[in-house]
Amino acid sequence: MSKMYYEQDCNMDALKGKTVAIIGYGSQGHAHALNLMESGADVIVGLYEGSKSWAKAEKAGLKVDTAANATKAADVVMMLVNDEKQPKIFKESIEPNLTAGKYLAFAHGFNILYNQVAPAADINVFMVAPKGPGHIVRRMYEEGKGTPCLVAVNQDPSGDTMEVALSYAAGIGGARAGVLETTFKEETETDLFGEQAVLCGGLTELIKAGFETLVDAGYQPESAYFECVNEVKLIVDLIVEGGFEKMRYSISDTAEYGDYRTGTRIITDETKKEMKQVLKEIQEGEFASKWLAENNVNRPYFLAKRKMESEHQVEIVGKELRKMMPWLQNEEE
Ligand SMILES: NC(=O)C1=CN([C@@H]2O[C@H](COP(=O)(O)OP(=O)(O)OC[C@H]3O[C@@H](n4cnc5c(N)ncnc54)[C@H](OP(=O)(O)O)[C@@H]3O)[C@@H](O)[C@H]2O)C=CC1
Ligand SMILES: CC[C@](O)(C(C)=O)C(=O)O
Ligand SMILES: [Mg+2]
Ligand SMILES: [Mg+2]
């Protein structure tokens, strides 16, 4: 039976009197630090000398110190640095300052599940994993809304770790939308699968395939962009607001007929078979090993792909078209 928590189920006072160190001030870090501060928590950001995030965090009104000093000052330490950097930072700056009874938190279970970070048995370990990009976690909070979160406890020597975790989830706005109890294993495997097969890998390849099909057939790239990129958000907004039903209520019957006839020709049994294989590789730790190995040799594949993708025609034409849509150009951290 799944367990969901909302604001009324969370003890908002469980963080009172506790200092929360947010290690890292990137996508998730800035959102957690600012949302928690505005929810009344005592927050300190932990970075490194020379970090480009340091001045940004101070400018936003936050206390900032090195990761080691922030850990010393804190009762709850949230690891919001890049997954692949966490083991070294944990060993060098966090672990030596993490005394018995403190709380160590994560927004993704990767390093615990794959044994890259191993906290001592007298440390409380929990996870609050927002199901959304950090900049949206911040934007939703500012708008009085929330991003759903997953919550899990992996070690609980103090006996109140779930209470602290739920208070944290509420502090970043997650309990406005719903906080689902899970395990580090379930969060990690579903998150990696979702981002690879659907949200990031699957979606960008679907978009590019549609865009390239139209452009290769001689249609204007601008037309292909509006059709296969810009309108994705408009259609997905309707699905998120009211399911497929609301989307199909808004589109034409012609589109709905085409949706039923053609969708399964694009996402085929073969695609589902490959999705199962992707999930298996995640479950068996093969993806994690490959990602850690890629980082050990300074990311040649990752960096080459990042460059190639940024040069794709869909990105070039999109940049131009977005200049005429000022509502898309909001300043973000
Ligand atoms: N991005 C997202 O929306 C989501 C991320 N997560 C998880 O959240 C965690 C953080 O990811 P994300 O927000 O993407 O990370 P980012 O890459 O956006 O930010 C990393 C931050 O860590 C800082 N940093 C780097 N090295 C150090 C160091 N040695 N000591 C202290 N700080 C350091 C960086 O500073 P600088 O830039 O100055 O080097 C930066 O502020 C990961 O576990 C990720 O899986 C979970 C859900 C969604
Ligand atoms: C979809 C990517 C994500 O899992 C996220 C924003 O939820 C991430 O790791 O950034
Ligand atoms: Mg995710
Ligand atoms: Mg992820």
Determine the average pLDDT of the residues in 5-31: 97
pLDDT of residue 130 exceeding 70, the answer is yes
- The best mutation among 86, 137, 140, 200 to test binding of ligand 2, ranked by most ligand atoms within 8 Å of the C-beta, falls on 200
Quick one: pLDDT band at residue 331, thresholds 50, 70, 90?
low
Alpha helices in the chain (DSSP H): 27-38, 53-59, 67-73, 86-89, 110-113, 134-142, 161-171, 184-193, 201-216, 221-225, 231-250, 253-266, 269-283, 286-296, 300-310, 313-322
Residue 108 annotated in active site: yes
- The Å distance, Cα 242 to ligand 1 centre, comes to 33
- The Å distance, Cα 129 to ligand 2 centre, comes to 10
Share of the chain above pLDDT 90, in %: 98
Indicate if ligand 2 lies below 6 Å from the C-beta of 203.
no
pLDDT, the chain, mean: 97
Is the Cβ–Cβ distance between 210 and 266 less than 8 Å? no
The answer to whether the annotation marks 223 as part of a ligand binding site is no
Quick one: pLDDT band at residue 330, thresholds 50, 70, 90?
low
Determine the average pLDDT of the residues in 98-111: 98
Q: Is the backbone of residue 270 left (phi > 0), alpha (psi -120 to 50) or beta?
A: alpha
- The DSSP element (H or E) to which 104 belongs, if any, is strand 103-106
pLDDT of residue 107 exceeding 80, the answer is yes
Indicate if ligand 2 lies below 6 Å from the C-beta of 191.
yes
The answer to whether the annotation marks 39 as part of a ligand binding site is no
Is the Cβ–Cβ distance between 173 and 145 less than 8 Å? yes
From atom 10 of ligand 2, which residue's Cα is the shortest distance away? Answer: 133
From atom 6 of ligand 2, which residue's Cα is the shortest distance away? Answer: 133
From atom 48 of ligand 1, which residue's Cα is the shortest distance away? Answer: 133
The answer to whether the annotation marks 167 as part of a ligand binding site is no
For position 1, what pLDDT does the model report?
80
Quick one: pLDDT band at residue 120, thresholds 50, 70, 90?
very high
For position 332, what pLDDT does the model report?
58
Terminal alpha carbon distance of the chain: 38
Indicate if ligand 1 lies below 6 Å from the C-beta of 78.
no
DSSP 271: H
The answer to whether the annotation marks 252 as part of a ligand binding site is yes
pTM listed for this prediction = 0.98
Taking only the tens place, the pLDDT of each residue in 244-292 is 999 999 999 999 999 999 999 999 999 999 999 999 999 999 999 999 9
From atom 16 of ligand 1, which residue's Cα is the shortest distance away? Answer: 26
For position 101, what pLDDT does the model report?
98
Determine the average pLDDT of the residues in 210-223: 98
For position 324, what pLDDT does the model report?
94
149-155 vs 124-130, strand pairing mode: antiparallel
User: Residue 133 CA: which ligand 2 atom is closest?
Assistant: 6
Amino acid identity for residue 38 in this structure: E
ipTM of the complex: 0.99
Q: Please work out, in degrees rounded to the nearest 5, the angle formed at the alpha carbon of residue 35 by the alpha carbons of 91 and 162.
A: 60
Q: What 3-state class would DSSP assign to 106?
A: strand
Indicate if ligand 1 lies below 6 Å from the C-beta of 130.
yes
- The Å distance, Cα 132 to ligand 2 centre, comes to 6
Taking only the tens place, the pLDDT of each residue in 23-76 is 999 999 999 999 999 999 999 999 999 999 999 999 999 999 999 999 999 999
149-155 vs 179-181, strand pairing mode: parallel
For position 329, what pLDDT does the model report?
78
For position 261, what pLDDT does the model report?
98
The answer to whether the annotation marks 250 as part of a ligand binding site is no
Considering only 115-119, 175-179, 327-331, which range has the smallest mean pLDDT?
327-331
Determine the average pLDDT of the residues in 280-307: 98
